[in-house]
């Protein structure tokens, strides 16, 4: 019999997602998972679209069936690929 309430289930699933983000190939330390009531928010910055897709895939697996959304941004860790023109 499962006696864990909705908040406990959310906390447990968020902890599993945090572990996977830290230990698996994602290793996205700039990503944080917060709770707002009974909703999880995956927030932070990732290196590129591939990393974003991986974080969203892991979140989708761990938070399936729960109310959650993402607020991820990309940061550029390499120089620009074009010359900036100033006027």
What's residue 1's pLDDT? 47
Could you tell me the CA-to-CA distances from 84 to 69, 73, 76 in Å, in that order?
A: 34, 22, 15
Q: Which residues contact 74 (CB under 8 A, 6 or more apart)?
A: 45, 46, 47, 48, 49, 52
Write out the H or E segment, with its range, that includes residue 69.
strand 68-74
Q: In 3-state terms, what secondary structure has residue 33?
A: strand
What's residue 84's pLDDT? 81
Residue 71 — pLDDT band, cuts 50, 70, 90? very high
What's this model's pTM, rounded to 2 decimal places?
Answer: 0.76
- In the sheet with 31-36, reading across from the earlier edge strand, the strands are 31-36, 39-46, 68-74
């Amino acid at each position: 019999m499962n006696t864990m309430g909705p908040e406990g289930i959310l906390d447990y699933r968020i902890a599993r997602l945090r572990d996977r983000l830290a230990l698996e190939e994602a290793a996205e330390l700039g990503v944080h998972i917060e709770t707002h009531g009974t909703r999880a928010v995956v927030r932070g910055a990732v290196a590129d679209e591939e990393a974003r897709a991986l974080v969203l895939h892991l979140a989708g697996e761990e938070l399936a069936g729960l109310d959650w959304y993402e607020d991820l941004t990309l940061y550029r860790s390499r120089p620009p690929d074009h010359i900036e023109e100033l006027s």
